[in-house]
Amino acid sequence: MARGKKIYEGKAKTLFEGPEPGTIIQYFKDDATAFNAVKKDTIDGKGALNNLLSEHIMVGLGNIGLPTHFIRRLNMREQLIHQVEIVPLEIIVRNVAAGSFSKMFNIEEGTPLPRPIVEFCLKDDDLGDPLVSEEHILAMNWASSHEIDDMREIALRVNDFLAGLMFGIGIKLVDFKIEVGRQYEEGMQRLILADEISPDSCRLWDMETNQKLDKDVFRRDLGSLTDAYSEVARRLGILPKNTAASGPKLVE
Residues in a beta bridge with 9: 14
Nearer to ligand TMP, 18 or 93 (CB): 93
The one segment of 14-22, 144-152, 154-162, 201-209 that binds ligand TMP by CB under 6 A: 201-209
**Does 201 interact with ligand TMP (rule: CB under 6 A)?**
yes
CB atoms within 10 A of CB 87: 23
Q: Is 135 exposed, middle or buried (0-12, 13-18, 19+ CB in 10 A)?
A: exposed
Cα separation, 19 vs 204, in Å, equals 35
The residue within the footprint of ligand TMP, chosen from 61, 84, 92, 158 (CB under 6 A), is: 92
Q: Which of 213, 243, 219 is nearest to 76 (CA)?
A: 243
| Cα distances (Å, whole numbers) of residue 96 to 27, 161, 169 | 31, 16, 18
**Does 231 interact with ligand TMP (rule: CB under 6 A)?**
no
Q: Which residue is nearest to ligand ASP (CB)?
A: 33
Q: What is the dihedral of CA 117, 120, 126, 127, to 10 degrees?
A: -80
Residues of span 27-66 touching ligand TMP by CB under 6 A: none
Contact partner, 33, from ligand ASP, ligand TMP, none, Cβ < 5-8 Å per class: ligand ASP
Q: Which of 16, 53, 12, 49 is nearest to 31 (CA)?
A: 12
Residues in a beta bridge with 79: 26, 73
Task: Please state the closest distance from residue 155 (CB atom) to ligand ASP, in A.
Answer: 18
Nearer to ligand TMP, 50 or 79 (CB): 50
Nearer to ligand TMP, 77 or 203 (CB): 203
The residue within the footprint of ligand TMP, chosen from 17, 109, 129, 227 (CB under 6 A), is: 129
8 Å CB contact between 230 and 53: no
By three-state DSSP, how is residue 87 classified?
Answer: coil
Interacting residues toward ligand ASP by CB under 6 A: 11, 33-37, 215, 219
Contact partner, 161, from ligand TMP, ligand ASP, none, Cβ < 5-8 Å per class: none
Nearer to ligand ASP, 219 or 234 (CB): 219
The residue within the footprint of ligand TMP, chosen from 16, 31, 100, 156 (CB under 6 A), is: 100
**Does 205 interact with ligand TMP (rule: CB under 6 A)?**
no
Nearer to ligand ASP, 7 or 37 (CB): 37
